[in-house]
Amino acid sequence: MDRRKLLVAGGVGVVVIGGVAASIAATGSASGSPAASGTGGAGAAGATKAGKGSASASPAVPLPTITTVPVNGATGVDPSKPVTVRVLGGTIESVSLSGQQQTSGTLSTDGSSWTSDNVLGVDSGYSLTVVAKNSAGKTATSNVSFHTLAPSATFGVESVVPPRGSTVGVGQPIRVTFSNYVPTEYQAALEKACVVTSTPAVKGAWYWVSNGSEGAVVDWRPETYWPVDTKVSIAFNLNGVRLGSHQFGVEDYASHDFTISSRDLRLIVDKDAFKATCYENGTVIRTFPIDTGQTTRETFVTYTGTMAVLGKGNPVEMKGNYGGGDVYDDFVNWATQITWSGTYVHAAPWDPDIGSANDDSHGCVHCRTADAEWFYNKVIDGDVVTINGSRTRTVAVDNGICTFTLDWATLVKGSAYGPTLNGKPVPA
């Protein structure tokens, strides 16, 4: 076993750091309080005064001095701060940190210090036991108890997309809505605590979609589309994470798992050519004519970019009142939604210009009924719809789940912690 890694059980605590370091010049049974002078401890009593013509007795080796942060009896300890152990005059033999939440620690190369690796939990009691040994093989033990603080403001997960247990397309980002605003200096800590793992392992990064008084919305997206059949898991290790001056996560959340579909389905819409091409696993499986938004009015120009399928309905009621007699309230069949603002790929039997050089929609992708029905029955949430054209109107990331519209470099710039691979930092 590598002596530099010592496993310890941690507790659930969050908040303010407590106390000054406690220095313990411990005897072989020290219990969190000073017990011997630095000149020898129990061995000093056995020293003899050298007489004339006699050999001098070797001086006793002092017992190690153990210092901990937090100190024994500390309260209001900040669980986001590491627990530390320092030893003078010896090396650390063992560290045990017991409480509600488990963590590990790292031992220095020379064995003189130990630092916990992870946060503790909020409002929890902990017991720390340290055993150190001097050069003569004598041990000293320090027993320390402390309690983490209860936060005045708490933070948690409101919702996660895709749903737990779902199967989604290769273009599905993870979207998490959190309860509160997160100041910039704490965003990396939140990203680090939200660990995405997958089989096979896939590199990706978090991206801050929005962050305000109504909470934070953060997406995690692979560098490229997910491989088919990927198994994905998200762990929210929030308990004890400081996310504001007085704000802490107070709960870890059960693993959130989902699966990527066994087929890679993408619809590529070419507005200029008035056609859509559907690919499955890289092979064209259908090409069909389409019509898109009116180019004479900016409001109706069909969005460009890459969108994840959000859902579908048959029928969907669509309403509009744009003045000048442009009023409608219709139930539209075979409607696949791709933006929150109301962009659909749907049947439009009333549109005579599908496939021609006239753009007649209010921003949706019009299809013939047979094609719209085929696509509706083929797609699932998270499948890819990419719309191209010379008249651009780039879709916003939060108008749906459109994180794949961003190039990788832009996405990484929007991350505080940077790219990860199964939760570990990696180069962009």
Active site residue ranges? 346, 364
CA nearest 121: which of 142, 146, 95?
146
Q: For residue 68, which amino acid is it?
A: T
CA distance 106 to 101: 17
Q: Around 175, how many Cα atoms within 13 Å sit in the side-chain half-sphere? A: 20
CA distance 383 to 79: 41
